[in-house]
Amino acid sequence: MSVRPSRLPLRLPLPCVAVVGVLGLTLGVAGCGSSNTASGTPSASGSSSSSGGNACDAYKAYGDLTGKTVSVYTGIVTPEDTPQINSYKPFEKCTGATIKYEGDKSFEAQVLVRAKAGNPPDIGIVPQPGLLKQLVATGSVKAAPPEVAANVDKFWTKDWKTYGTVNNTFYAAPLGANVKSFVWYSPKEFKSKNYKIPKTLDELTALSETIAKTGSKPWCAGIASGEATGWTITDWMEDMMLRLSGPDTYDKWVNHTIAFNGPESVAALDAVGKILKNPAFVNGGLGDVKSIATTTFQDGGLPILDGTCSLHRQASFYAANWPKGTKVAEDGDVFAFYLPGKDTASKPVLGGGEFIAAFTDRPEVKAFQTYLSTDLWANNKVASSPDGGWVTANKGLDTGKLTSPIDQLAASILQDPKAVFRFDGSDQMPAAIGSNAFWKQATNWITGSSTQAMTDAVEAAWPK
Partner 1 sequence: MTSSEKFLQMAAAIGAFAAVIGVILFIAGRFSGRRGDRVVALAFLLPTVALLLVGLVYPGLRTIYQSFFNAAGSSFIGMDNYTTLFTTPDQVTVLRNTVLWVVITPFVATAVGLLYAILVDRARLESLAKALIFLPMAISFVGASIIWKFVYEYRPAQGGIKQIGLLNQLVVWAGGSPQQWLLEKPWNTLFLIAIMIWIQAGFAMTVLSAAIKAIPDDIVEAARLDGVRRLGMFRYITVPSIRPALIVVLTTIGIGTLKVFDIVRTVTGGQFDTSVVANEFYSQSFRSDNQGLGAALAVLLFVLVVPIVVYNVRQLRAQEAR
Q: Where does this chain bind partner 1 (CB under 8 A)?
A: 1-6, 8-10, 12, 14-15, 18-19, 21-31, 37, 39, 41, 109, 112, 134, 137, 225-230, 283, 285-288, 290-291, 293-294, 308, 430-432, 435-437, 440, 443, 447, 460-461, 463
Task: Show Cβ contacts of residue 137 under 8 Å, excluding neighbours closer than 6 positions.
Answer: none
Q: Which is nearer to partner 1, 8 or 150 (CB)?
A: 8
In the complex, what is the shortest distance from the CB of residue 190 to partner 1, in angstroms, rounded to a whole number? Answer: 23
As a residue count, the chain comes to 464
In the complex, what is the shortest distance from the CB of residue 432 to partner 1, in angstroms, rounded to a whole number? Answer: 4
DSSP labels, 245-299: HHHHHHHHHHTTSS-TTSHHHHHHHHHHHHHHT-TTT--TTT-STTHHHHSBTTT
Q: Which is nearer to partner 1, 31 or 417 (CB)?
A: 31
The greatest distance separating any two alpha carbons of the chain, rounded to the nearest whole angstrom, comes to 86
DSSP labels, 404-420: SHHHHHHHHHHT-TT-E
In the complex, what is the shortest distance from the CB of residue 112 to partner 1, in angstroms, rounded to a whole number? Answer: 7
In the complex, what is the shortest distance from the CB of residue 336 to partner 1, in angstroms, rounded to a whole number? Answer: 25
Are 339 and 202 spatial neighbours (Cβ–Cβ below 8 Å)? no
In terms of Cβ atoms closer than 10 Å to its own Cβ (0-12, 13-18, 19+), residue 28 is exposed
Q: Which is nearer to partner 1, 198 or 301 (CB)?
A: 301
Task: Show Cβ contacts of residue 450 under 8 Å, excluding neighbours closer than 6 positions.
Answer: none
Q: Which is nearer to partner 1, 21 or 263 (CB)?
A: 21
Say how far apart CA 296 and CA 285 lie, in whole Å: 13
Residue 213 φ then ψ, to 5°:
-65, -25
Are 103 and 75 spatial neighbours (Cβ–Cβ below 8 Å)? yes
Q: Which is nearer to partner 1, 77 or 267 (CB)?
A: 77
Q: Which is nearer to partner 1, 200 or 294 (CB)?
A: 294
Q: Which is nearer to partner 1, 332 or 430 (CB)?
A: 430
In the complex, what is the shortest distance from the CB of residue 77 to partner 1, in angstroms, rounded to a whole number? Answer: 15
Q: Which is nearer to partner 1, 225 or 326 (CB)?
A: 225
In the complex, what is the shortest distance from the CB of residue 7 to partner 1, in angstroms, rounded to a whole number? Answer: 8
- Number of other residues whose CB lies within 10 A of the CB of residue 448: 11
Q: Which is nearer to partner 1, 41 or 255 (CB)?
A: 41
Calculate the CA dihedral of residues 29, 34, 36, 39 and round it to 10 degrees.
170
Nearest to 307 by CA among 205, 220, 208: 220
In the complex, what is the shortest distance from the CB of residue 458 to partner 1, in angstroms, rounded to a whole number? Answer: 11
Collapsing DSSP states into helix, strand and coil, what is residue 38? strand
Q: What is the DSSP letter of 436?
A: I
In the complex, what is the shortest distance from the CB of residue 214 to partner 1, in angstroms, rounded to a whole number? Answer: 16
In the complex, what is the shortest distance from the CB of residue 36 to partner 1, in angstroms, rounded to a whole number? Answer: 12
